[in-house]
Structure 1
């Protein structure tokens, strides 16, 4: 029997699809999902390029800062704090600060060798007799002695017997550094004049590795500009650990200097091998 018209209309209403607000949860979730980072970068390519460039710039700046900081800790120049008179006939071999503004200095040259006590302010000295024959540099940390003989060897010596307890080879970037001369122990490092150069090597006492260079070329240049002639290479390091004062001089130098170190800012104007030409003279 045919259904009434009203029943047909009622049936049609029941089979109508659900309104949008009644959609299934899964369908609603799919429509509200945020686009992925990759898809957003693809849509906005200019912004993504700028973002990547910023990352690269940040990485480069970090690398540059690290590299520059490492160099600053490796090379040092100086400021002159004070100048003192020094015997221009003293062929300085070794220098030691003895306290109360006095230094102990050993000098060389045939029939002119001496061991003397030097007054810092006046440069006047009192000589002592000695029986030493040969030796390049000697320093101590209060427990053992460190000695050099003009080669690349740094000796650890027993202070009572003078027997070698250990010997390390001084190296910079796998290159042996010969001509180690006057030595000084400063804050856990051995500082060494390199014969016939205007450079001081800062050496690790443990393994002989050069951890820094002090470039003192301007001292020689200053003496020449002042009209001094006939002096020889830089040699002589003394450290006043109580007042943190550093003294340097050279062979036949008319002056002794108190200096303060400062790291070199920026690249060197030449390679270390050119600034500190280390050659064999034997």
Structure 2
């Protein structure tokens, strides 16, 4: 199986940055020793203090990303990505804080999924698709481009637009998701999302982003909202106040997956478009580990070729049919597919 080839083709322009960076004191020379600079999920993190000047150390306490951690910890219940190890070292009646960066990778190679097109439907060729989701059998779509951004309810079988509102020209529409009869729609660089009534499209409120500077894709598990920002990070938003509570970093066994775009929650996993790659990764939301990849690149050849044609973007799960719908930016077709693990 040419799995590594598919991973490279789809999404994995891996950026493996230096993860052994330390913050030490020139006076003491104390540094943190770890099992390795890079570890995998399930590895044991062994911690010790390098003490070249033979100081009398009376105590050491460790934290990982601000949370206490014990030595010889098995990394089987942590999220992946870059972590900051902090050690408070007590010596000679004094204390010094030192840090070291490590990275935790996934411990398995992503599975490769093939797809089969079971139906093809019309799609508005002028829609720069950013978000796609089903609710009560109707397809909801958010589109982008300033001056052209829209929120729509669509009959997916005919392409008929059942309801439409245009965003203000200042906003570049991005992903959407629906939870508790509310539509959550992101905008790109305005640091703002909107909340609408799912039936009337009445705008109920707006919310600002936190540490994530941009809005790309969004999905939900019925309780929590998950938001991408164009990096390897997916932010978890509190559904009550829409504040960012935490984030996961999406990693394979080799490195991080940047440019995460449109998101869809399917059977306990996050499916994510990779911007400019015409592919989708399947993510474990508990760890950020990539469990599967789907190469949808051949679909682009099945749509009308024109100057405005852009990449695959838009993935929606139909819970009753148990199929996945995908389209792209300025595509004139919407594809219903089933996927099979190879």
Whether TM exceeds 0.5 here: the answer is yes
Rounded Cα–Cα distance in structure 2 between residues aligned with 1:145 and 1:263 = 27
Contact preservation (8 Å) 1:152, 1:180: yes
Residue in structure 2 matched with residue 244 of structure 1 by the alignment: 322
1:25-78 deviations in Å (ceiling 9; x for gaps): xxxxxxxxxxxxxxxxxxxxxxxxxxxxxxxxxxxxxxxxxxxxx97x700121
Structure 1 residue 130, shift from structure 2 partner: 4.9
Residue in structure 2 matched with residue 46 of structure 1 by the alignment: none
Residue in structure 2 matched with residue 228 of structure 1 by the alignment: 305
Larger Rg: 1
Rounded Cα–Cα distance in structure 2 between residues aligned with 1:158 and 1:263 = 33
Contact preservation (8 Å) 2:238, 2:244: yes
Structure 1 residue 133, shift from structure 2 partner: 3.3
Q: Where does structure 1 lack aligned partners over 5 or more consecutive residues?
A: 1-69, 265-282
Structure 1 residue 252, shift from structure 2 partner: 0.4
2:126 is aligned with 1:89: yes
Rounded Cα–Cα distance in structure 1 between residues aligned with 2:272 and 2:329 = 15
Rounded Cα–Cα distance in structure 2 between residues aligned with 1:83 and 1:129 = 27
2:159 is aligned with 1:79: no
Structure 1 residue 129, shift from structure 2 partner: 4.6
2:195 is aligned with 1:141: no
1:114-139 deviations in Å (ceiling 9; x for gaps): 10111111112121255753221110
Counterpart of 2:144 (choices 93, 108, 117) is: 108
2:339 is aligned with 1:258: no
2:235 is aligned with 1:155: yes
Contact preservation (8 Å) 2:124, 2:159: yes
Contact preservation (8 Å) 1:191, 1:203: yes
Q: Where does structure 2 lack aligned partners over 5 or more consecutive residues?
A: 1-107, 169-185, 189-214
Rounded Cα–Cα distance in structure 1 between residues aligned with 2:223 and 2:112 = 29
1:65-214 equivalences in 2 (<5 Å): 74-100=111-137, 102-125=138-161, 126-130=163-167, 133-134=187-188, 135-214=215-294
Rounded Cα–Cα distance in structure 2 between residues aligned with 1:174 and 1:164 = 27
Relative to its length, the structure with more strand (as a share) is: 2
SS at match of 1:191: strand
Contact preservation (8 Å) 2:131, 2:142: yes
Rounded Cα–Cα distance in structure 2 between residues aligned with 1:133 and 1:86 = 22
Instruction: Give the TM-score taking structure 1 as reference length.
Output: 0.64
SS at match of 1:96: strand
Rounded Cα–Cα distance in structure 1 between residues aligned with 2:255 and 2:270 = 18
Structure 1 residue 221, shift from structure 2 partner: 2.5
Structure 1 residue 83, shift from structure 2 partner: 0.3
Rounded Cα–Cα distance in structure 2 between residues aligned with 1:243 and 1:167 = 31
Rounded Cα–Cα distance in structure 2 between residues aligned with 1:107 and 1:148 = 16
Structure 1 residue 260, shift from structure 2 partner: 0.8
Contact preservation (8 Å) 1:75, 1:213: yes
Rounded Cα–Cα distance in structure 1 between residues aligned with 2:326 and 2:302 = 14
Structure 1 residue 243, shift from structure 2 partner: 2.4
Contact preservation (8 Å) 1:85, 1:121: yes
Rounded Cα–Cα distance in structure 2 between residues aligned with 1:166 and 1:256 = 34
SS at match of 2:127: coil
Rounded Cα–Cα distance in structure 2 between residues aligned with 1:110 and 1:130 = 9
1:212-262 deviations in Å (ceiling 9; x for gaps): 001112211333xxx522311000010112221210000000000100112
1:123-161 deviations in Å (ceiling 9; x for gaps): 121212557532211100101000001111011110121
Instruction: Give the TM-score taking structure 2 as reference length.
Output: 0.53
